[in-house]
Amino acid sequence: MHDPRFDRLAELLVSHSTRLEKGEHLLIESFDAPDPFISALIRAARARGANPHAAMRSTRVLRTLVDGADEAQIATWADIDEHRMKAMDAYIGVRGSANASEMASVDESSMSLFGRRYQKPVHFEERVKRTKWCVLRWPTPSMAQLAGMSTDEFEDFYFRVCCLDYGRMAGAAAALEKRMKEADRVHIIGPGETDLRFSIKDIPAVACCGEMNIPDGEVFTSPVRDSVEGVVAFNTATIYHGVPFENVRLRFEKGRIVESSATVGADRLEEIFDADEGARFIGEFAIGFHPHILHPMKDILFDEKIAGSFHFTPGQAYEEADNGNRSEIHWDLVCIQRPDFGGGEIRFDDETIRRDGLFVVDDLLDLNPDRLG
């Protein structure tokens, strides 16, 4: 049976997210997403006069390809996909998975090789920098389980979240983007000894309202690379490279992670942060505000947008808000500051802009859930 929600989401992706124009080439990369939705995307692209291309992937097959791969295999694979990406004007990545932990047992050296020789040239260097791109998850029973919902409940939640009025969100987010562009000193305090200070002076800020991610709802920048000092404790469980982590705590000196701990996944932290020199420095700081995303579900494309959250990202900086940090990793770690998660404050130049997850200054009130939702 045809699901009209597929058509609504497909239209949002080609009109708002990637702004497809006549004659442009679009690569649709599908990981375990249903064929009817990919077909809906193809039809929506053609309706705008664009040229759609599709690559159908399997996460389970990807795991087998990466685990134990040598450099020659990864390099050839990357050369082929980079050549195709260079011919594209736009990219939509639809990422579903029957098992969120599919990559968990892949050897870390294999994951590092894949990140360095495939992900970095094909995605970080080519797709991110040179195409109009958008990445989204696809709702699966595995995701519903992580969210603590039935499959039907989660699908309803997914389409409500993804098909939000992102134009309205963009209007409200402009004020936060402006404040972040003008700010120098950031001070974050909260439970778990969180007391973190850094500068964002002269680094661009970018409002994300449905262009590069669906769902969306954040403004990001990056700290001055060597300015980060103090401690941050993250209260949101996460999965990175298929491995679960909980209660990650980081301590910084002169921008560098000098101490790390976690209640789950602690034995893998140093491997990740030793991937390269940039892995111990922060490449992104962002404030999340999607009004319908309130609880973590171990899926970063949702969790980093949680209302009342911020995320702090070891690794690669985005070119749009570049602090010069380079790394093969980009690991978004999320802290929720609403009262039900322990509260906390964000201050710009000694002014509190958000307390216990709610914006408290007049120009940012429209970003609070009661207005944005």
pLDDT digits (tens, 9 = 90+) for 236-283: 999 898 889 999 999 999 999 999 999 999 999 999 999 999 999 999
Q: Is residue 254 classed exposed, middle or buried when 0-12, 13-18 and 19+ CB atoms within 10 A define those classes? A: exposed
312 is written with which tokens? Answer: 């702090």
Mean per-residue pLDDT of the chain: 95
**How far is it, in rounded angstroms, from Cα 141 to Cα 151?**
5
Instruction: Report, at the CATH architecture level, how domain 4-162 is classified.
Output: 3-Layer(aba) Sandwich (3.40)
**How far is it, in rounded angstroms, from Cα 291 to Cα 271?**
35
Measure the CA dihedral 177/162/303/81, to 10°.
Answer: -90
Per-residue DSSP letter, 48: T
Beta-bridge partners for 260: 250
pLDDT higher than threshold 90 for residue 100? no
- Bigger pLDDT: 99 vs 4: 4
> Domain residues of the chain, as ranges?
4-162, 166-372
Q: How confident is the model at residue 113 (pLDDT cuts 50, 70, 90)?
A: very high
232 is written with which tokens? Answer: 């941050």
Phi, psi values for residue 92, rounded to 5° = -125, 120
List pLDDT tens digits, range 146-203.
Answer: 888 999 999 999 999 999 999 999 999 999 999 999 999 999 999 989 999 999 999 9
What SS3 state is found at 195?
strand
Determine the pLDDT at residue 1: 65
Determine the pLDDT at residue 107: 84
Determine the pLDDT at residue 98: 79
Mean pLDDT, to the nearest integer, of 312-334?
A: 96
Residues 6+ apart with CB under 8 A from 50: 14, 20, 21, 22, 23, 24, 25, 26, 90
pLDDT higher than threshold 90 for residue 72? yes
pLDDT higher than threshold 90 for residue 102? no
Determine the pLDDT at residue 288: 98
Q: How confident is the model at residue 119 (pLDDT cuts 50, 70, 90)?
A: very high
List pLDDT tens digits, range 122-148.
Answer: 999 999 999 999 999 999 998 898 888
